[in-house]
Amino acid sequence: MCGRFTLQTPSHQLATLFDQIQDLEIPEQESRHNICPTQDVLAVRKPDQSLEAVMLRWGLVPFWAKELKIGNRMINARSETVFEKPAFRNAVKSKRCVIVCDGFYEWKPVEGQKKKQPYLIAKEDRAPWLMAGLWESWRDPTGPKDAEPIETCTIITTDANDFMSELHHRMPVKLEDDQVSYWLDCDFTDKSQLKAMLEPKDWDGFEISKAAL
């Protein structure tokens, strides 16, 4: 799974690092080394014919949900069931996004102790990269009818590759450069190709290092 991640790359540098999102206006934010569920995270989506960079609350709330707190259990979506599970099947068809990060954390039990050691998984050069995600727009059914909707997101996970398996059996889906435009284009509906994008990949150029949180 992915329950904490980082984005420490300065905002003004991000749009120049990805061909797919060049010239986007990136919301300014401070360096963040421990992003948690329910916080706002930086995402890129294509709700119409143009891309936009937005801040979304982490923890997807389906449009039909009665309460916001359901999002606390929806920080990740499994790639194997995302096309069928009621909470995600609408979003995977029409509300796909990418979530920007430059690392994420996993914990491993310390032998002979009752604590776990956090590890940071990141590129060796700490460059940012893009995780496959979904977003939704939700209105509180008990709130004012003219209230602004709350926009939320989830990170899609897949089986761990050999690199990650020593820490955890799941990992976030890292999209390759040539997959991003297809993932963001919700007019692209080839289910077999979309599923193929979510399969485990080799993570060349990444490293695992001990972290302190």
Which residue among the candidates 101, 106, 151, 153 is catalytic per the annotation? 106
Under 8 Å between Cβ of 158 and 76 = no
Please give the Cα distance from 88 to 118 (Å, whole number). Answer: 29
Please give the Cα distance from 162 to 120 (Å, whole number). Answer: 16
CA 39 from centroid of its chain's CA atoms: 12
Query: Using CA of residue 202, residue 189, residue 94, residue 195, what is the dihedral sign?
Result: negative
Is 106 a catalytic site residue? yes
Which residue among the candidates 2, 97, 101, 153 is catalytic per the annotation? 2
Under 8 Å between Cβ of 88 and 154 = yes
Is 97 a catalytic site residue? no
The closest alpha carbon to 186, from 55, 72, 91, belongs to 91
Catalytic residues: 2, 106
